[in-house]
Amino acid sequence: MMDILIVLEDNNGRIHRMGLESIVAAQKLANGMSLSMGALVMGANGDALAEEASEYNVGEVLKIKNEHLSSYSSDGYAETVKQVIEQENPTYVIFGHTYQVRDYAPKVSAKLMKPFLVDNVDVSPNEGNVVFTKQMFNAKLFSDVTPTGDGPYLISFQSAAFSSEKADVGSAAVRNCTVNLDVSMIRTESEEPFQEEAGGIDLTSADIIVSVGRGIGKKENIALAKELAQALGGELASSRPVVDAGWLPAAHQIGSSGQSVSPKMYLALGISGAIQHVVGMKGSKNIVAINKDPEAPIFEIADYGVVGDVLEITPKLTEGIQ
Amino acid sequence: MKIAVLVKQVPGADSPLPIQSNQNWVDEGAAAFIMNESDNYALEEALQIRESMGEGEVVAVSLGPDRIQKVIREALAKGADRAIHIQMDTEGVIDPLVTASHFDHALKEENFDLIFSGLQSDDLGMGQTGIILGEMLGMATASLAMATELGDGRIKVKRELEAGWFQWVSLTLPASVSIQSGLNSPRYPSLKGIMGAKRKELKVVTPNVVDATQSLEKVYLPKSEKQTVMIEGSADQIVEKLVETFRNEIKVL
C-alpha cells in the first residue's frame, strides 16, 4: 500500500530519463503532503531497473516479472498498471509523459474511469487540494487543473519539467509483485523498432548542442554551425523549418515532432523560438541564443542572448574556441 | 470498412486567445476556429483507405456547440459520407473521460471497424480521447500512427517512437488509432464537394450527463521565466565574451 505510485519506463535497460524526472515530481508531492511512495518496474529489464530505482528515495520498488510483459504492448502494460493500482490502492499514479505512456495510460484511465491529467509542468501540493499546472493552446496559455472525486488519479509530467539531477537518493527495498495476464488480452503484435535512416542520432544524451534555425539563411551555411559544434565537441541539431527546407535530415530535429533534449548548453543560432521548438529544449541547463531580431521569443527563455548576425559571429566563435 | 473520424474545431495557430476576465476560459467569440491539424490528417487517411478499397463508409463525428458544424461541413465537403454532431456547450469541459463517454454513447450502436482520431488537440492537448473511446468500445488501440496498412482483418500501424525510432504494430479489428500529423497530404475540398456536402446526412444528437473527473481552475498567461544576460559589443568583443562565458560560467570548455 502506498499513496503515490511512480511508474518507471525501460529505456534499453536504464530508467527512462523522464521516469527519473517523475521521481522528482513525486518526491515534491510526497514531501508537501506527507505521503508514502512506491515505484513500479516491469518488463524484460525489470531486474536492472529495480536495482537502479532502489538507489532513489522512492519508498519501495515493486518489480513485476511476467512472460507477457517481455516486450511492450499497450494492452499488457495497461492491464498490469490497472491491477497494481487495485492491489496497492495509491491516490496518485505518476508517469513521465513519454510516447509509451501516451499509448497505454489513457487505457488505464478508461478501465478505472479515473482521470489522467497529462503533460503537467508543475505540481503544487496544498492542504487537501493539489493543483497541477498544464500548458494549453501549444503553450501559449497555462492552466491550473485539479482532479475531482476519489482517486486514484493518473498524472504525467512534461519532459524536463523537473530536473532528474534533483532526485533524492535513498535505498529502497525491492518487492516482487504478480499480475494475472493472459495472451488473449493482448490484441497487438509488434515488430522490432527501427530507425528511418542510417546515421540516426540520439541528441538526448549530448552535453552540448549547437542548433540552427531558419536564420542560418541557406543550406551552404549549415557547415558553419557544424564546424562550431565540432569545435565545442557537441552535436548539431535544428528546428523544424530547417528540416522541412531539406537543409538537414529529420534526425537532427528538436521540438514537439523531433527530439526533446536538456543538454548542459544549448546554443541556438538563428532560431526564433516557436513553441513547437521550445518544448523540445527549454529544459536545457544553459540556453545561449544568437538572433538578429531583438524581439525573437527565444530570448525569453535564453540565459545568455546576443542580438547579432549569426553568419558573422559563428565562424569567429569557432575560431575563438580553437 | 466502416470508419469513424473524430474531428475537433479548435482555435487556429494564429488565432487571438483573449482570456476571460474570470479566467475560466478564453473568449471564444474572438477566436478564429479551424479543424484541428492532426484530425485533418486522420480524415485524409480514412478517405484514402475507403478509396483504395473501393468500398466503405467514412463518418465524421464531432462534439461541441453549433459553431463546430463548420468543420463538420468541411469534412463532408472533403469526402466524408455522413456526419454526427454531438451537440453540447464545451466551454470549460476538459475531461477526456467525459468527452469519450459522449462519443461512446453516440457511436456504440454503429459498430465501426475503425476509429481514427488526431493525436491530440491543439487547444487542450490531452491526447487521450480516441484511445479511451477505443477502450470503452472494446477495441484494440494504437497511438502516433505515421502510416497504416489494412489486410486480413487487421490494421498495421507504423508507430512513431521517441528519438527518431519507429515500430510496426499489427492490431485486430475493430481498432481505434490516433494519427500523427504529416503521414499524408490532406486534400482541399472541391467546389463539387462543397455543394454536395449540403445534401449529406448530418445527425445531431444530445449527450447524456457524465460527471467530470478533472476540472479546470483557471487559465493564464505564461510567466516570464528567466533573466537573460545580454552580451553586447562588436562581433569580436561578443565572441570574446561568449568564449569566456562558455569557459567560466557554463563550464563547457
Task: Give residue-wise pLDDT tens across range A119-136.
Answer: 999 999 987 789 999 989
Same domain for A176 and A210? no
- Look at B160 and B83; give whichever has higher pLDDT: B83
CB-CB: which of A142, A146, A251 is closest to B220?
A142
Task: Give residue-wise pLDDT tens across range A123-179.
Answer: 999 877 899 999 898 777 899 999 999 999 999 998 888 989 999 999 999 999 999
Structural domain boundaries enclosing A306: 203-321
A193 is a domain residue: no
Least confident of A30-34, A175-179, A261-265, B181-185: B181-185
Task: Give residue-wise pLDDT tens across range B6-46.
Answer: 999 999 877 889 999 999 999 999 999 999 999 999 999 99
CB-CB: which of A140, A193, A317 is closest to B239?
A317
CB-CB: which of B142, B171, B242 is closest to A317?
B242
Q: How many CB atoms lie within 10 A of CB A51?
A: 13
Whether the predicted pLDDT of A202 surpasses 80: no
Q: What is the CA radius of gyration of chain A?
A: 21
Instruction: Compute φ and ψ for B225, nearest 5 degrees.
Output: -95, -25
Residue A260's pLDDT band, with cuts at 50, 70 and 90, is confident
Give percent of chain B above pLDDT 70. Answer: 99
Minimal C-alpha gap between B198 and chain A (Å): 31
Q: Is B23 left (phi over 0), alpha (psi -120 to 50) or beta?
A: left
The structural domain count of chain A equals: 2
B227 is a domain residue: no
Tell me, yes or no, if A208 comes closer than 8 A to chain B by beta carbon: yes
For residue A197, the model assigns a pLDDT of 62
Residue A4's pLDDT band, with cuts at 50, 70 and 90, is very high
CB-CB: which of B136, B166, B228 is closest to A299?
B228
Residue with grid cell 518489480, as numbered in its chain: A63
**What's the CA gap between A7 and A177, in Å, rounded?**
14
Least confident of A217-231, A278-292, B40-54: A278-292
Task: Give residue-wise pLDDT tens across range B193-225.
Answer: 999 999 999 999 999 889 999 999 999 987 766
Cell of A119: 503533460
Strand partners, A19: none
Question: Which of A12, A103, A114, A275 to probe by mutation at the B interface, max B CB count within 10 Å?
Answer: A103
Tell me, yes or no, if B185 comes closer than 8 A to chain A by beta carbon: no
Minimal C-alpha gap between A307 and chain B (Å): 8
Same domain for A213 and A267? yes
B205-228 burial string, b = 16+ CB within 10 Å, else e?
Answer: eebeebebbbbbeebeeeeeeeeb
Same domain for A170 and A223? no
- Look at B164 and A77; give whichever has higher pLDDT: A77
By C-alpha distance, which of A155, A157, A163, A281 is closest to A213? A281
CB-CB: which of A145, A204, A260 is closest to B216?
A145
For residue A198, the model assigns a pLDDT of 47
Give the start-end residues of each E strand in chain B.
2-6, 9-11, 33-35, 57-64, 82-87, 114-118, 140-151, 154-160, 165-172, 175-179, 202-205, 214-220, 229-230
**What's the CA gap between B89 and A27, in Å, rounded?**
38
The structural domain count of chain B equals: 1
Q: In this structure, what DSSP letter does residue B162 have?
A: S
Q: Is B54 left (phi over 0), alpha (psi -120 to 50) or beta?
A: left
Same domain for A157 and A43? yes
Task: Give residue-wise pLDDT tens across range B161-181.
Answer: 887 789 999 999 999 999 998
A196 is a domain residue: no
How many Cβ contacts (< 8 angstroms) between chains A and B?
234
For residue B224, the model assigns a pLDDT of 63
For B122, name the nearest residue in chain A, comparing CA atoms only: A137
For residue A46, the model assigns a pLDDT of 96
ipTM confidence score: 0.90
For A138, name the nearest residue in chain B, comparing CA atoms only: B122
Helix (H, G, I), strand (E, B) or coil at A136: strand
For residue B223, the model assigns a pLDDT of 72
Strand partners, A307: A291
CB-CB: which of A111, A144, A259 is closest to B217?
A144
Residue A267's pLDDT band, with cuts at 50, 70 and 90, is very high
* Mean per-residue pLDDT of chain A: 93
- Per the CB < 8 A criterion, the answer to whether B52 and B44 are in contact is no
- Per the CB < 8 A criterion, the answer to whether B47 and B79 are in contact is yes
Same domain for A51 and A129? yes
CATH number, domain of A44, equals: 3.40.50.620
Same domain for A233 and A86? no
Tell me, yes or no, if B19 comes closer than 8 A to chain A by beta carbon: yes
Angle between the N-to-C axes of helices A99-112 and A74-88, in degrees from 0 to 180, rounded to the nearest 10: 50
CATH number, domain of B123, equals: 3.40.50.620
A195 is a domain residue: no
Give the start-end residues of each E strand in A242-313.
265-269, 286-291, 304-307
Judged by CB atoms closer than 8 Å, whether chains meet at A118 and B126 is answered as yes
Same domain for A175 and A232? no
Judged by CB atoms closer than 8 Å, whether chains meet at A136 and B19 is answered as no
Same domain for A218 and A105? no
Residue A200's pLDDT band, with cuts at 50, 70 and 90, is low
For B239, name the nearest residue in chain A, comparing CA atoms only: A317
The CA-to-CA distance between both ends of chain B, in Å, stands at 60
Identity of the amino acid at B149: E
> Which residues make Cβ contacts (< 8 Å) with residue B132, sequence separation at least 6?
A106, A107, A109, A110, B96, B97, B100
Tell me, yes or no, if A308 comes closer than 8 A to chain B by beta carbon: yes
B245 is a domain residue: no
Final residue belonging to a domain, choices A185, A216, A244: A185
Task: Give residue-wise pLDDT tens across range B87-117.
Answer: 999 998 999 999 999 999 999 999 999 999 9
For A79, name the nearest residue in chain B, comparing CA atoms only: B135
A49 is a domain residue: yes
- Per the CB < 8 A criterion, the answer to whether A60 and A174 are in contact is yes
For B178, name the nearest residue in chain A, comparing CA atoms only: A103
**What's the CA gap between A108 and A112, in Å, rounded?**
6
Tell me, yes or no, if A222 comes closer than 8 A to chain B by beta carbon: no
A256 is a domain residue: yes
CA distances from A274 to A69, A213, A277, A282, B92 (A): 39, 10, 6, 11, 26
Minimal C-alpha gap between A196 and chain B (Å): 7
